[in-house]
Structure 1
C-alpha cells in the first residue's frame, strides 16, 4: 500500500503541493501588475489605498482586491525597505489571508510576509493585530514595518506592558497593531474590568496574524492568563514547612518524571503527621486526612514539589534576592511571572528569599479561548507541521508548507548516541574543536543554563573562546546571535527557539556598521558602511567555504519542534550548513523513555568507550518517544480547554452583560426587573403556591422584603384582609418598590440616580464574578476525585458550574436590589464623597488589572500583582484578603469563615 501511495503522490501531488499550486495564478497576477505600480509616485500609492478602501466599502470582496493590494504593498516595501518580496513570500501572505498557518523556514522573511495580508485586511477599517512572542520583537517589527504601512497611508501602533492609557488606546485605534500574546490577553481582561466604555482599549477582534504560532498557541497554551489581586500573607507557614522537607527520605515520596509529579507514600504521610504535630502546624487530635487539614496538606505538597521537581538554574534563577522563572521553551527569564497556588512561595522559602504573598483571581482566560474570539486567525512559524492536528482541532487552522526561495543545502546528520554523558561531552568538545580549526562557526544548543555553563567550562579548559547565550545574558541576546555566524565563532545557546534575530554567515552586517559608527563618531557613515560591506562579503565567502553554520545539539528536547527550530538556524536562504545531535543514555529523554533496552543492545554489540551508535533506527525510536510526550502535552492542553470552555460560556455572558450596562444610558428597567424577580422569589418562598392563608409566613415575608428590597410594607395586615391572595401581595409590593425608587430618583435627581444604578450594577457583577471564579477554582481542584465514583469529572463540573452560575445570578439580583434599596437621599457633600468612593474602588480594580498575572493549573507561570491592599473593613469582604477556611470569619459573626461568608453556594 505504501508503494501505491508513493505512486499516487507522484501523479497527483501531495495535498500541500496542490494548495501551493493553487496560489500560482494569483502570484502571476500580482507579478503582472508590478510594472504598472512601479510607475506610480509615492502619493499615488497612498491614493491607491484610498481607492481600494472605497471599493471594499462598496461591496467588493477582499479576495477580489488581493492582487492589486499585494502589488501595492510589494512596491511600498521595495521603496521603504529596499526589499522586493519573492514569489514564495507572496504565497505565504495569500495563505495567511485565507486563515491558515504558513510554515516558512528560518530566514525566509516572515516579518515582511505579514505586511501583505495585514495591509489587505486593514482596508476594512477594522484593525489588524500582529502578535509576537516578546516585547522586543513587537517594538522592532512595528518600527521596521511601519515604514511600509506609512508609505501606503496606514497607521501602525505597538502595545507593550505598563504603557500609558492614552498611548495604548491610540495604538489599538491604529490600522495595524503589534503586540505580544500576553499583553493582548491581559488588555482583553482589563477591558472587562472597566466601568466606562471610553476607558476600554480594544475595539474589535477581527483578524490576528500570530508570529511563532506554535510557541504562542501550543507551548504557552497550557498556561491561562490570570489577573489577580492580593491575598493573605502566609510567609511563616511556608518557612515552617520548608524546614520539614529536607528531613524526608526516598521512602517517604515517589517521583514520576514523565508527568512531573511527586506524591507522598503511606510511610511519608505517617512521618509527616508526626512532624507536623511536633511543630504545632497540625493541631493535636487532627489527622492529615481530616477536611480541616486540606490547606496544610496542599502547602506540604507544594513544598515537596519545590524541592524535588524545580531545580535552580534550570527552572528558575535567583537574581537580586528574587526567584525568576525561566521559560522552558525559549530559555528566557520571565520577569514578573509567578507560579500559582503557593508553589512560587515554596521556592522562595527554599532559596531563603523574601516571600511575597499569594494572589486571588479577579479575571482569567486561556490563550485558546482568547484567540478564538477573532473572526479570522492566521499564523507563521518554521515548525508547525508536527502539530497540524492540534491546530485543526482547536483553532480550525490549516497548515501549509510554503516552499523555500532557494533549495535547502544543509546536511542533517543522524543522531550520535553515546553510553555516558562524559563520553558524549568529550566527543562534543572534539567535534567543536575540529570545526573551529577550519573556521566553521558553531552554534551549540543546550536544554538548560546549568548544562550550558558546564559545557562552557569544558570549552574554556580546551582553550576555545566562545559566547554563552542563556537567561543570564538576556540583555545581550541580539548582539550574541548576530555574532554567531562569524568565522570561527562558537556560541552556546539555551533553547534557540524564536530568537527573532537571524544568524547570517560572516556576522550581521548592520550590527557591524552600527558598532563601527559608534566607535568612530567623527567618520563618514557612508565610507564606514562601504568599508564594512566589502569586508563582510569576504567574511561570508570564507564561512561558506568552511561549510556554513554548524548546529550541534547536545540533547534531544521533549518537543520535536524545538529541535527543528534549532536545526533551522543553519542553512537559511540556501546557505550551506550542517546539523548534528549528540546524545547519551544519561539524557533525560533517553533515561525516561526506555534507555535500559538500548543499554542492553549497546552492551551486546560490545561497544568500546567513546564509540557512538549512529543509525536511522535510533532516530525513529527517539521520534516515537517525542511523539508520546507531545501527545501527552496535547491531552493536558485539551483537558484544560474543556474545563475552561465551561467557564468561557459564562465569561462571555458576564462580559457581554457588562458591556450592555456600560452602553446603556438608563438602567432603571433592568434594576426594576431584578427587584420584581426578588419580590417574586420571596413571595413564592413565604406564600407557597396552592396554600391557605393560615399556612402563609407573612411576618417572614415582611422582614425579608424590608431587608432585601428596602420596602417597609404592612404585609402582615395585607395577609389578614379578605380576598387577598399571593398575586395581590406581589402586585402591592411591586407598586410600593416602584414608589420608593421614584422618591429616590426625585431626591437624587434623575441623572445621579442613573449613574448610581450603573455603578451598583457593575460593582456587584464584578464582585460576584470574582467570588464565582474562586468557587469554580475550588470545585475544579476537587472534582477529579469524582472519577473514583465512576462519574465523569468533566460532566460533574459542567452541571455544578451551571448551578453555581444560576445561584450567582440569583444572589446578584438580591445584592443589587438590596444596595439600591438602601441608597438614601444625601446632602451634596455626602453625594460627592460616595461618588469619590466608587471611583476609588474602580481605580483599585484597575490597578490590580494593570499588574496582571499569568498562571497555570499545573502551577505554571503567573505574573505578580502589585495591587495595594485596601484598609481592612469588616463590612467589606473585598478588604479581607484570603481568610483560612477554618479561621473566624472577618465579619465578626463568631462563626468559622467556611460556615459564614466563605460558604460555597
Structure 2
C-alpha cells in the first residue's frame, strides 16, 4: 500500500536515463569516426550505457537518415528497463522502439515487436530493416496471409514484428500440434508493445479463439422477420442504459401467437428470440458494425476501424446476419482460447510505448506490474486546447458544430473532425455538403484510402471528417508555412469518448513537434456518455446563445467519463479474476502436453497403466510404432478434454453471479469449483486414454477408432458481448446505485 501510494503513475525517475544520454552526446565525435563493425561491437558490449546510445544513434543516422533526438534515446533506455513510455505524437516512437528492440536482441533475447495491425507490422519491419542489418540483427514480420514456413522463418529472427492477434493465433495452433515439426512459435522472451494502452488495457479481455469442426451457422431468419414487426414501448422495452432488451407481456403474447407455442416451455426458442431482439433493437448498423462485401464486419470502438477477424459470440453473430438478410457465417466448436492479457503475461519481459499511458498507469501496474515513464517532447507542445463547448440538446450541438466548421474552413485552416462512429461521420459530411463544403470522409468503410487521406489532412483548406481511425497511430504534417500562420491544424471532436485517452489521442493529431494547433470538443446533454453514466443528472441552463458555460456542466461531463472508465476497469478486473484461473490451469496442462509432444511421457504413462497390453502391442509391431500411437492417443484425449473443460467453465461463469443472491462471493465460488474440475479433467484424460489404448488396432488409422480431429480449424477474435454479461450489468447497476446514494 505504501509503495502504491508513493509510486504514482508516470513517476518512473528518468533522470538516470537523461544523464546517460547526456554522456552519449560527448561521445558523438568518437562514434562518427568508427566503422559499422566497430559501432556494433561498441553497442553490443554496452547495452543501456552511454556508449550504446552513441553507437545506435550513429548507426540509425547512417542507415535511416534519422538521427535520434535525446528524448528518443531516453525513451529507448526506459523501455530497455522494462517500462511503458509515454511519448507525444510525432516524437518518433517507432525509431525509439527499434533501438530498444535492438538492445534486447544484443542481450541475446528474441523480441516480438507487437503492433495493432498487419500494415504497421510490415511497415515498421521494412522501415527499420537497414538499421537492424547494420547491427548484424535479423528482422521479420508476420501478416494474416503468412504461410507456416514464413511464420517459422520470421519467428527465427532476432526481432519479429507482428499483429498481436497473429501471435496469439500462432500460439493457439501450436497448442494443438501433434508433431513437433508443425510448431512455428518459439518460447517467448520479450514483448515490445506499440500503442501499449490499447493492446494491454483496452483489448486485454478480448479472447482469441481456435475453432474446429466447422459447419453452417445457426440460421434464424424467421426470428429476424418476427422481431421486425415488434414495436419498442409496446412489444419490448430497453433498460435505462440501453444495454438490455426484454419482451413486455404484449410482446410475449405476440411472439407466442406467431410461433404457435408457449414460449417459456421452449428454452432454445427463448434464446433465439432474445438474440434476434438484441440484434434488432440494440446493435446499430454503421455504429456497431458495417456491412461490406456481403459480410457483417464489426467496428472497433476504440480505433474506429473494422475489427478484422473479430466477431460476436456465435448466436449473436448469426442473429445480426439474419437481421441484415445475409448468409450465416461458419461456426465451430471452440477448441482453445486465450485472452490478449493471458497471451502477453506469458512474456518474461514486457515494455511498450504510446501517447497516452499515464491515464492507465494503475491498470498497467495492477495487471502487468509495469510502470510508466513520461518522456518530455523534443519541442514543447504549443497546441491550444479549448474548454468543451457544451449545449443542452443534440440538435443545438449539431448546429453549433456545423456553424463553427463553416466559419473556420472559410479561413483556409485545415480541420480534422473526429466523430464517434461511422454513421455520425457520414451524417455530418452530408450536412456539411448541404452547406456547400466538400469534406473528405475517413471511416471503416473506406479504410483502404487511409494513408492518402491522412497525407492531405494538414494541407491548406483540407476538411477531413473521420472516426477514431485518425485518432491513433497517424501523424498529420502541416502542408505549408501558410498553414502554420493560420494556427495549424484544428481538431474538433463531436463528442467525448468513454475514455479520456481516446480524446487525448484525437487531440494529439495537432501540435506535433512544436507545431501550432488547436483542439475543441462539442458536447450535449443528450450525448450517449451522459445518458448512460449520469442518467439522472441535468445540465445547468444555457445562456442566450444556446451554450452552457456553467462550470458544473464541465464537471459533469468529466465525471461521466470518469465513471465510464471506472466501470470498464472493474469489468476488466472482474474478467481477469475468472480467466486467470483457466490460464493457470492451461499453463500446467501445456507443460504436461509438451512432455508428451516432445518426449515419451505419453508412452510411459500408458506403459505404466497397461504394461501387459503395451507389451502385447510391441510384439505385434514395434516399440517405436506403439510409442507413436500412445503419443497421439494421449494428445487427442488431452485436447478433447480441454475443449470440454472450456465449455463447462463457460456455462459455470454464465450463471455464477446468481450465487451472490445466497450471499456467496461469485469469484470465490468459481475458484472453489475450479480445482475439483481440473482434477476431474486429468482423471478423464487418463480414463479415456487407457480405454482407447486397450482397444487400439495398430493396423487402422486412429481417426477410424473414435479419435478423429477436426478436418479444418480456423481462428477469430470474440468481441465481448456489446451488452455485457449478466455480471457486467450487475456491476453497472451497483455503480449506479452508489452514484445515487452519494447524490442523496
TM-score (norm 1): 0.76
Per the alignment, in what secondary structure is the counterpart of residue 641 of structure 2? Answer: helix
The match for 2:33 is 39
State whether residues 636 and 707 of structure 2, in contact with CA within 8 Å, keep that contact through their aligned partners in structure 1: no
**Structure with greater Cα Rg:** 1
Q: Deviations over 1:157-188 (max 9, x none)?
A: 10111311111001011001101111111111
Match of 1:219 in 2: 202
SS of the residue corresponding to residue 114 of structure 1 reads helix
What is the distance in 1 between the residues matched to 2:145 and 2:376? 40
Partner of 2:452: 479
- Distance in 1, matches of 2:122 and 2:723, equals 27
Deviations 1:694-745 (A, max 9, x none): xxxxxxxxxxxxxxxxxxxxxxxxxxxxxxxxxxxxxxxxxxx423321211
Matching residue of 1:578 = 518
1:591 aligns with 2:531: yes
Q: Secondary structure at the match of 2:301?
A: coil
- The residue correspondences of 1:121-160 to structure 2 (distance < 5 A) are 121-160=104-143
**C-alpha displacement at 1:788, in angstroms?**
1.7
Q: How does 1:680-759 map to 2 (within 5 A)?
A: 737-759=610-632
Q: In structure 2, what is the Cα distance between the partners aligned to 1:25 and 1:426?
A: 53
C-alpha separation in 1, matches of 2:688 and 2:16: 60
1:545 aligns with 2:480: no
Q: Take 2:30 and 2:96, find their aligned partners in 1: how far apart are those partners?
A: 21
- 1:730-879 equivalences in 2 (<5 Å): 737-824=610-697, 826=699, 830=700, 834=701, 844=710, 847-848=712-713, 851-858=714-721
Note if contact 1:322-1:353 (Cα within 8 Å) is conserved in structure 2: yes
Structure 2 residue runs of 5 or longer lacking an equivalent are 1-5, 725-744
Does 2:414 align with 1:441? yes
Q: Distance in 2 between matches of 1:40 and 1:122?
A: 22
Cα distance in 1, alignment partners of residues 704 and 158 from structure 2: 38
What is residue 741 of structure 2 aligned with on the other side? none
- How far off is 1:423 after superposition? 2.7
Is contact 1:496-1:566 (8 Å) kept?
no
Aligned length: 719
Q: Name which of structure 1's ranges 660-669 and 117-126 shifts more when overlaid on structure 2.
A: 660-669
Where do residues 83-98 of structure 1 align in structure 2 (5 Å cutoff)? 83-98=66-81
**Selected match of 2:581 from 631, 643, 646:** 646
Q: Relative to structure 1, is the Cα distance of residues 612 and 67 closer, same or farther in structure 2, using a 3 angstrom cutoff?
A: same
Residue 113 of structure 1 corresponds to which residue in structure 2?
Answer: 96
Give per-residue Cα distances to partners, 1:444-499, cap 9 Å, x unaligned: 11101111111111211221222100011110001101110001111001114664
Q: Is the 8 A contact 2:491 2:520 kept in 1?
A: yes
The 8 Å contact of residues 442 and 467 in structure 2, kept in 1 or not, is answered as: yes
What CA distance in whole angstroms lies between the structure 1 residues aligned with 2:707 and 2:7? 65
Find the counterpart in structure 1 of residue 259 from structure 2: 279
Check the 8 A contact 1:666/1:754 in 2, yes or no: no
Task: Give the Cα separation in 2 of the matches to 1:279 and 1:216.
Answer: 45
* Aligned residue in 2 for 1:883: none
Q: Tell me by how many angstroms 1:47 deviates.
A: 4.6
Is the Cα–Cα contact under 8 Å of residues 417 and 494 in structure 2 kept in the other structure? yes
CA distance 1:464–1:274, change in 2 (3 Å): closer
Provide closer, same or farther for how the CA distance between residues 14 and 592 of structure 1 changes in structure 2, counting only shifts above 3 A: closer
The 3 A distance-change label for structure 1 pair 781 and 590 is closer
**Equivalent residue, structure 2, for 1:528:** none
Q: Secondary structure at the match of 1:760?
A: helix
Q: Distance in 2 between matches of 1:576 and 1:838?
A: 72
* Distance (whole Å) between structure 2 residues aligned to residue 310 and residue 492 of structure 1: 23
Shift, 1:319, TM fit: 1.6
Q: Residue 759 of structure 1 contacts residue 838 of structure 1 at CA under 8 Å; is this kept in 2?
A: no
Q: How far apart, CA to CA, are the structure 2 residues paired with 1:84 and 1:491?
A: 32
1:229 aligns with 2:212: yes
Instruction: Determine the C-alpha separation between the residues in 1 that align with 2:362 and 2:12.
Output: 19
Match of 2:590 in 1: 655
Contact preservation (8 Å) 2:192, 2:351: yes
* Range with greater deviation from structure 2 (26-35 or 82-91): 26-35
Give the drift of 1:367.
1.2
Matches within 5 A, 1:21-420: 21-48=15-42, 52=44, 65-230=48-213, 233=216, 235-240=218-223, 242-244=225-227, 246-256=229-239, 258=241, 260-264=242-246, 267=249, 271-272=251-252, 275-276=255-256, 278-280=258-260, 282=261, 288=264, 293-420=266-393
Q: CA deviation at 1:210?
A: 0.7
User: CA 1:407–1:665 in 2, change beyond 3 Å: closer, same or farther?
Assistant: same
Runs (5+) with no aligned partner, structure 1: 1-11, 56-61, 507-539, 676-736, 862-905
Which shifted more, 778-787 or 341-350?
778-787
- C-alpha change, 1:228 and 1:374, in structure 2 (3 Å) is same
After superposition, the Cα gap between the structure-2 partners of 1:740 and 1:234, relative to the gap in structure 1 and judged at 3 Å, is closer
> How far apart are residue 266 of structure 1 and its match?
5.9
CA offset at residue 257 of structure 1?
Answer: 5.5
CA deviations on 1:769-789 (whole Å, 9 max, x unpaired) are 111111111111122222222
Question: Helix, strand or coil: the match of 1:326?
Answer: strand
**Structure 1 residues 546 and 573 mapped into 2: Cα distance closer, same or farther (>3 Å)?**
same
For residue 186 of structure 2, give the secondary structure of its aligned residue in structure 1. Answer: coil
1:90–1:113 contact (8 Å) kept in structure 2? yes
Partners of 1:98 and 1:671 lie apart in 2 by 47
Larger deviation, residues 14-23 vs 653-662: 14-23
Q: Give the structure-2-normalised TM-score.
A: 0.91
**Alignment CA distance shift 1:440-1:266 (3 Å):** closer
Please report how far the alpha carbon of residue 372 of structure 1 lies from its aligned counterpart in structure 2 after TM superposition.
Answer: 0.8
Q: C-alpha distance in 2, partners of 1:560/1:478?
A: 25
Query: Is structure 2 residue 500 aligned with structure 1 residue 565?
Result: no
Quote the offset at 1:371 in angstroms.
0.8
1:899 aligns with: none
CA distance in 2, matches of 1:294, 1:228: 25
1:345/1:357 contact within 8 Å kept: no
**Secondary structure of the structure 1 residue equivalent to 2:209:** strand
Q: What is the match of residue 629 of structure 1?
A: 564
Aligned equivalents of 2:453 and 2:667: distance in 1? 48
| 1:4-23 correspondence runs (5 A) | 16=10, 19-23=13-17
Residue 459 of structure 1 pairs with residue 399 of structure 2:
no
CA shift for structure 1 position 314: 0.8
Secondary structure of 2:588 counterpart:
helix
Alpha carbon RMSD of aligned pairs, Å?
A: 2.6
CA–CA distance in structure 1, aligned partners of residues 133 and 434 of structure 2: 53
Whole-Å Cα distance in 2 between the matches of residues 564 and 416 of structure 1?
16
Q: Structure 1's 837 and 137: CA in aligned 2 closer, same or farther, altered over 3 A?
A: farther
- 8 A Cα contact 2:484 2:515, kept in partner: yes
Larger mean Cα displacement after TM superposition, 806-815 or 851-860: 851-860
User: Deviations along 1:640-660, whole A, 9 cap, x unmatched?
Assistant: 111101111111112111111
Conservation of the 8 A alpha-carbon contact between 1:366 and 1:641: no
CA shift, 1:860, in A, is 8.7
- Point out the more displaced range, 791-800 or 131-140: 791-800
